Structure 1
């Protein structure tokens, strides 16, 4: 397969090198376009008011890989690759392997997920890979799973306009409990800003906080079933599908399909009831 790989940890991150080199060694044609520095938590930001530069990187990757360091965001990297650096669209866009999890509502901030989503926006099947630890350094089990998943996808197709958000537990390969399809959970943070003073006596703030993963089942259902109810989906099936947050705790690899259409169908259904009132107001 022809693969485009990006990330948000930067071109020198161990995760992207392990992923790219593993897939190149498996016979895939790999092109890497990554930020030239750390770009975590940039979401789907784009560079509009500055030039974007790209430079070839000549070391650290498998000899068959062409790798570029890009001055832009993760989404910029994929846009630039598809619009200027590649001669033809890839078969798939991959992002990662991220150093840290992208579970639940993390995906709204994630540069890793946004890079993959940029591929989906362009109509290309895409997958985001994350290792659920900021300190663990062994990315090989995650890369090996990516290789296995791609082998399966060579004979199967992804859902239209959906990306797969894959999180791999940070444990040894023989400790991984299995692979499970999940729905997106809720991961809320208690965010606080630490007030500090720099050496010149000026005040600045540093974002800090702790993650809160224990949320009620009712809240999970409210967060996840807004579209399901309005579309006539199987609510019981949805309730019985575990969340990514839950299954990572049990050392499962989680695969969650995501989409860029954020329309709240249940909210739209409710708002349409207001429409008659607005018509009367307009008259």
Structure 2
């Protein structure tokens, strides 16, 4: 009989210790420490109080919330209680200071108009604009408006662009055109007023002898020779369609065209063979076609 009563006392004391261990808060140091080995029923003392065994671990079987209701945790064990959201505002980390942000962009980020914007004068060097650059936003107060694409800034003077096409023209003191369309016919001599060189592409050149003013119904012809530069000749140097020849120039002719200026007729083109010699003081061109026709023009200034 005494052994059975002592066994019952030990069992009841063990269950009371387990229940109190579940109800009481577990210290942080004990919670992090590994759980101790469970004590056997024979080593338990029936006279020990439940408060002296808080380190006993939970039983292997899960305990349902209906069986054991946990008591509210003390504020000292669980840490400071959170403040009431209605009475105390939530502490937030301070937002990063904006670096020279436009008011429109700052208002769009915050969701409303900013009352007291804070601008940092000493911004990072990478965020600064280089001197002379045009800002992306609209010009501010005291800032000159942005110039259009067609304007030229005074710091960057406009330079003439080099082209490979253009024109050179010179009036003549002596100019004459000789046309002999038939081999046996006498040549027709016509005056001219000057010469014009047109370069549509580097290496191609056309020599145009301009007609002179004639009185009455006298014919007035314009003669045009076209060909390519011979080896050793340089194309004209052009800027903004204004050219300057590189004397001397030799041209191998391949075509010509004649136009009667008075009748306003269509040009008569022919395939010819010939050459032009361009010097700093004169131009001489001579060409022949397959039928035996001959054309020659000479100009001096």
**TM-score of the superposed pair, with normalisation by structure 2:** 0.18
Higher helix share: 1
**TM-score of the superposed pair, with normalisation by structure 1:** 0.19
Tell me which of the two structures has the higher relative contact order, counting C-alpha pairs closer than 8 angstroms and 6 or more residues apart.
Answer: 1
Structure number with bigger Rg: 2
